[in-house]
Structure 1
């Protein structure tokens, strides 16, 4: 555990590759500059950080705190927020996206940071797992690095949503889930991203993959699937992951440029609701400095670059 005497912020590592619990912080818009800097440093170092006991937070407080870390985006490029345009409810009533992904990679301007707050938790299950995509890249043998350093992939929001959710009901897909899927795909986005991106703050290289990948460019569909599965398996090795057991008042913040995550659908038909905000990011660049390229869709309304 490390602690800053100046800010009272203590960082408790949860694993060697990813994850830390942050103590001594009451999140909100009035957090000091020194405390914000300590939180950001812990985030960059540990990829995902967790806060207990933040029961005082509501949507406004969550947004006020997020604004100290960066520019808050719209809730989502296609899904309309019901109450607040910057807050996306992650609600089991509308589906369970239980597959590995990085948030909103189907647009060019991928969010830099996501902040998730527990609102209503099931009595059991519903944990979330994060994986360190930097550690996954660094652990690749040189032969695989040579292969993936020049690879590119097409990401899209028109992915096989039904194959990645656990919301099948008698007679077919639940109506609310189908409505959410239709809204999610209401505007088509396709973007070419490098499989290996360079982190704009740390300079680290990470694997940019997840379930929004449609295919890898320049190889056959069979080869694309095989390579994707090989690399995804590297990302999700248990040594690269941390599993968070949610409690009331919890907040999780992750570096969306260096992680994937997976919400585990093991809580039956119990209600589960969390509120997410995202912070504006940059357009990823490859190792040789080539930026991602839009194929379809304009996400300028979602966030600035």
Structure 2
């Protein structure tokens, strides 16, 4: 195993790292993920995550729902999904293709409809289809860096409203009735809205990244039509193929990503094959704009209940 040093000056002497794409993503080999990983090894995994944005680990069949969550707790406090019930007594978020809400086939950053959205997500392949069902990640920090200077300054001046009550069928050519029903009855069983800076500063690396994705609702101070045009311009920058990595899942794979500098998309090309993945999400903090202002909650079930009371 050779020692490598990344762009942030981190040394990865304990990790066997293989980049998967040019701007995002790396496979880490020879590591058995567990809650009791050596502190030095875990620190290098954290540093590699900042560098590569998403890390892939094969053959993690030893992980259970319990140890998956316990490993996630090494990164911080585990938080359940705000609206989707967790299986059993866990805090896991389950995506089961046999159920209505199991196909996350649109570009998004996890749970940006709350002000302090998760900082890290850890996804485990429980049942993987024989073909299809890949996941694609995009680097939102690279997308920002590639903008012309004038467009960077413009983007930095914007704030965006995100909501879980978004137009579910807007970017889908076919929307199955049972998936739409699940979205309406479960995913938006309670409505959340948050206002974020469109460009936010990563709390660890200091990188600036675009904060968009399918929970985007509108830009503050712009009409819905104007918001849609600006969104399309910047979102297309994020999902340029050069900014992405595509992972072909195998049984018991684990993917860990920095939710603050990525979007992802689950490719819905596996028909009626079973596909079951479970996710642990780690509590984040309110996003910070270039000018130091932070994200804020606009609508939450807690506030709505307090007003009614």
Establish whether TM, by shorter chain, passes 0.5. Answer: yes
Query: Following the alignment from structure 1 to structure 2, what is the Cα–Cα distance between the partners of residues 78 and 208?
Result: 21
SS of equivalent residue, structure 1 residue 27:
coil
Q: Are 1:8 and 1:25, in contact at CA under 8 Å, matched by a contact in 2? A: no
- Alpha-carbon offset, residue 82 of structure 1: 2.4
Query: Following the alignment from structure 1 to structure 2, what is the Cα–Cα distance between the partners of residues 188 and 195?
Result: 21
Q: C-alpha root-mean-square deviation of aligned residues, in Å?
A: 2.0
Q: Are 1:98 and 1:166, in contact at CA under 8 Å, matched by a contact in 2? A: no
Runs in 1 of length 4+ with deviation above 3 angstroms? 1-8, 162-169
Query: Following the alignment from structure 1 to structure 2, what is the Cα–Cα distance between the partners of residues 2 and 16?
Result: 20
Alignment of 1:10 onto 2:16 = yes
Query: Following the alignment from structure 1 to structure 2, what is the Cα–Cα distance between the partners of residues 165 and 249?
Result: 29
Alignment of 1:85 onto 2:90 = yes
Q: Are 2:109 and 2:262, in contact at CA under 8 Å, matched by a contact in 1? A: yes
Q: Deviations over 1:136-185 (max 9, x none)?
A: 0000001111211110100000011234567745xxx02x6513531111
Q: Are 1:2 and 1:11, in contact at CA under 8 Å, matched by a contact in 2? A: no
SS of equivalent residue, structure 1 residue 69:
coil
Taking the TM superposition and a 5 Å limit, the aligned residue runs for 1:104-119 are 104-119=111-126
Query: Following the alignment from structure 1 to structure 2, what is the Cα–Cα distance between the partners of residues 299 and 235?
Result: 33
Match of 2:254 in 1: 251
Taking the TM superposition and a 5 Å limit, the aligned residue runs for 1:55-204 are 55-74=61-80, 76-93=81-98, 94-95=100-101, 96-164=103-171, 168-169=175-176, 173-174=177-178, 178-204=181-207
Alignment of 1:286 onto 2:293 = no
Query: Following the alignment from structure 1 to structure 2, what is the Cα–Cα distance between the partners of residues 159 and 85?
Result: 27
Q: Residue 2 and residue 147 in structure 1: after superposition, are their counterparts in 2 closer, same or farther (change >3 A)? A: farther
Match of 1:232 in 2: 235
Q: TM-score, normalised by structure 2?
A: 0.91
Q: Residue 69 and residue 26 in structure 1: after superposition, are their counterparts in 2 closer, same or farther (change >3 A)? A: same
SS of equivalent residue, structure 1 residue 162:
coil
- Alpha-carbon offset, residue 299 of structure 1: 7.2
Q: Are 2:2 and 2:13, in contact at CA under 8 Å, matched by a contact in 1? A: no
Query: Following the alignment from structure 2 to structure 1, what is the Cα–Cα distance between the partners of residues 12 and 189?
Result: 49
User: Which structure 1 segments of 5+ residues have no match?
Assistant: 301-305
Alignment of 1:210 onto 2:217 = no
SS of equivalent residue, structure 1 residue 294:
strand
Match of 2:265 in 1: 262
